[in-house]
Chain A
Amino acid sequence: MRRLALIAALLTGLGWTSGASAAIAGAVARQPVNWTAILMFGGFVAITLWITGRAAAKTRNVADFYTGGGITGFQNGLAMAGDYCSAASFLGITSQIFNDGYDGLIYAIGFLVGWPIVLFLVAEKLRNLGRFTFADVVSYRFLQGPVRSFAAVSTLLVVSFYLIAQMVGAGQLIQLLFGLPYLYAITIVGGLMMVYVLFGGMRATSWVQIIKAVMLLCGATFLVLGVMAHVGFSFEALFAQAVAVKTKMALAAGLSPGEAAAKARAIMGPGGFIKDPISALSFGFALMLGTAGLPHILMRFFTVPDAREARKSILWATVWIGYFYALTFVLGFGAIVMISFNPDYVDAAGALRGGNNMAVMHLAHAIGGNLFLGFISAVAFATILAVVAGLTLSAASAISHDIYASVLRKGRADPKQELRVSRITTILLGIAAIILGIVFQKQNVAFMVSLAFALAASGNFPVLVMSLLWKGCTTRGAAWGGGVGLLSAFGLTVLSPVIWVAVLGFATPIFPYTSPALFSVPLAFLAIWLISILDRSPRAAIDRAGYPAQRLRSETGIGIHGAAAH
């Protein structure tokens, strides 16, 4: 793991550069083949494939495929955490803190704060109305064709951007951690994800995510204990030592003692991440409301039996995700203290060996040696697999359940046929993911995760809230208003610095802020409202008349579909 290599695209690929400041560019150099990591990852694959085999035996119908036959709120919470905490958060946040200090925590909070919104506004209603996909919920009282088509298009868009970022990130990460060529890495990820989803459906996906979450949380906890033991279990000592290390570095760089002290102190406060308040708030709202509109997260609500367990799922998910982000913060400071002056980990110029995202990897080596480094590398790989499996399943269900069974077959599809369509879709998605991973290998995909969040926040979230909570919402309002949200979020992102300048190379952006959400979300709400109140069609009358029955069911769960087959 010593070969000098400037990565960057890793962070980029995994989406941590959504803020303007964190963009890093550069090539990724392949590392020597790391057999410890590969063997440990092989163990993870063996266990998950065994689970997939068992799940496959139980996956007999569409309900099994989409919901996995039911798990508890606690298990689902862990699976949600496994679905949500990417390898990027682990490597990206810790490295960002290692370099700049505090700012990593601002990201982390943004990624956590959407969960209460999901809980308060949509969770129980979603569970009470839906069966397999969030489109079941938004189309409940509307004409199925337009609203499901909108939901399916939106799902595919969000999933595609998220998936491309994950695939490119996976290829680079695995090159880095395992020393395998990019193409191998991409094919392994695409192939395994296909096997999990194809044979094991939601049951296997859930367990892959649960096992991964447990591995990630245990590994990070062990590392934090190592860090805290090093500083005598005092946070004050941790921060004081980190500042002392940064001061020493600044002095070595030739700064005067006063300047060095000030520069070192800066790691304890917010730095360059938040420049203008509008971008900051807009990005924050995209993260917060986007979480409440991510199709692969919303789909997880249908794996639990009722609203009660759905609420517990979120509480547990929030506990684990919050805990995880708190750990990453400590790990970032731990890395400053423990690896900054070790020539094994840092070169003469103070840069991390192996690339900008390696801080936590070096820390793992410093604390637990080669074996633990192998374990953490395997965890990072498992993390990517768990995330892409969840994404694939939600895209497959959008095509088979929403487009094929509900729109094309008007709800009269043969369930066996629907299951076959989901499996064919899974294979196609796996192949598409591998191809996209190859096509985008050298591209700047930094904007893709934040774009996925912005689309989810501007398309899915407003449609979900309005269809659930506003009597006056109509088919046209939901389908077209949601479309306005998607289009405006996409258009403004293209015109913003993250694409217009960083990807297309223009000098000045037309839309000056890094995230569109602060504008596109209200615009979507406005469009849904306006189109709905102007809608005088006969269908609109049916839509409005359907509200009381939908409301009753969403509040009480009378007539709820079970998570298991029935």
Chain B
Amino acid sequence: MSTSDHDGTAIEARVAADPRYAALVRDRQRFSWILTIVTVVTYSSFISLIAFDKPLMATPIGSGTTSLAVVLGFAMLVGTVAICAIYVRRANGEFDARLAAILADEAA
């Protein structure tokens, strides 16, 4: 992702004019906002569930001791890692490949 200084401005203008660049930015932005909203809504729901219905959260799973709150809490920890992994996978894979293709073409 480097550029030579002598045509620095030129490549920036060419990339900015490339329709694939606009599409990439749009897709990546949409993806990151969707995941942000999923994160915020999930977390707010979790906190609200605790705030509004503690007895429900304390309900045991089946006939055991493990409660719904424990399961949901661990799901929050795992889910937080998972949603990061989903973003990094697509951003470092598909999005970076698309960007590299644009930069390679426009630098040529």
A268 & B51 in contact (Cβ 8 Å cutoff): no
Residue from B47, B52, B77, B87 within 8 A of A284 (CB atoms): B47
Residue from A270, A277, A315, A553 within 8 A of B69 (CB atoms): A270
A308 interface hit (Cβ, 8 Å):
yes
Closest-CB distance, B108 to chain A (whole angstroms):
15
B8 & A559 in contact (Cβ 8 Å cutoff): yes
A301 interface hit (Cβ, 8 Å):
no
Complex-state Cα separation, A115 to B35, whole angstroms: 12
Among the stretches A235-243, A349-357, A527-535, the one at the interface with B is A235-243
> Which size class do A's interface residues fall under?
35 or more
A252 interface hit (Cβ, 8 Å):
no
A319 contact set on B, CB distance < 8 A: 81
A113 & B1 in contact (Cβ 8 Å cutoff): no
Given the interface pairs A240-B65, A274-B51, A549-B12, the reply to whether A116 lies near B25 with Cβ below 8 Å is no
Among the stretches A118-126, A398-406, A474-482, the one at the interface with B is A118-126
B44 contact set on A, CB distance < 8 A: 281, 284
A121 & B36 in contact (Cβ 8 Å cutoff): yes
B54 & A113 in contact (Cβ 8 Å cutoff): no
A105 contact set on B, CB distance < 8 A: 69-70, 73
A329 contact set on B, CB distance < 8 A: 73-74
Given the interface pairs A106-B73, A312-B92, A319-B81, the reply to whether A120 lies near B87 with Cβ below 8 Å is yes
A557 interface hit (Cβ, 8 Å):
yes
Instruction: Decide if the interface of chain B is mainly helix, strand, loop or mixed.
Output: helix
B52 & A277 in contact (Cβ 8 Å cutoff): yes
A277 & B12 in contact (Cβ 8 Å cutoff): no
User: In the complex, which residue of chain A has the Cβ closest to the Cβ of B77?
Assistant: A322
A322 & B43 in contact (Cβ 8 Å cutoff): no
Closest-CB distance, A87 to chain B (whole angstroms):
20
Given the interface pairs A115-B80, A314-B84, A326-B74, the reply to whether A269 lies near B58 with Cβ below 8 Å is yes
Complex-state Cα separation, A553 to B25, whole angstroms: 12
Complex-state Cα separation, A235 to B102, whole angstroms: 51
Closest-CB distance, B79 to chain A (whole angstroms):
9
B43 & A109 in contact (Cβ 8 Å cutoff): yes
Across chains A and B, the number of contacting residue pairs, with CB separation under 8 Å, is 161
B12 contact set on A, CB distance < 8 A: 549, 552-553, 558-559
A116 & B15 in contact (Cβ 8 Å cutoff): no
B32 & A312 in contact (Cβ 8 Å cutoff): no
Chain A CB count within 10 A is highest, among B55, B76, B81, for: B81
Chain A CB count within 10 A is highest, among B21, B32, B57, for: B32
A311 contact set on B, CB distance < 8 A: 87-88, 91-92
Mark interface residues in A253-286 (1 if CB within 8 Å of B CB, else 0): 0000000000001101111001011001100100
Known interface pairs A120-B36, A308-B92, A560-B2; 13 further A-B residue pairs with C-beta atoms within 8 A, sorted by A's residue number = A105-B70, A112-B76, A116-B39, A121-B32, A124-B91, A239-B70, A269-B54, A269-B69, A270-B58, A274-B47, A281-B44, A322-B77, A555-B21
Can you name 19 A-B pairs with beta carbons within 8 Å?
A: A102-B69, A112-B76, A113-B80, A235-B66, A239-B70, A270-B58, A277-B48, A281-B44, A284-B43, A311-B91, A312-B88, A315-B88, A326-B77, A329-B73, A329-B74, A549-B12, A555-B21, A556-B1, A558-B1
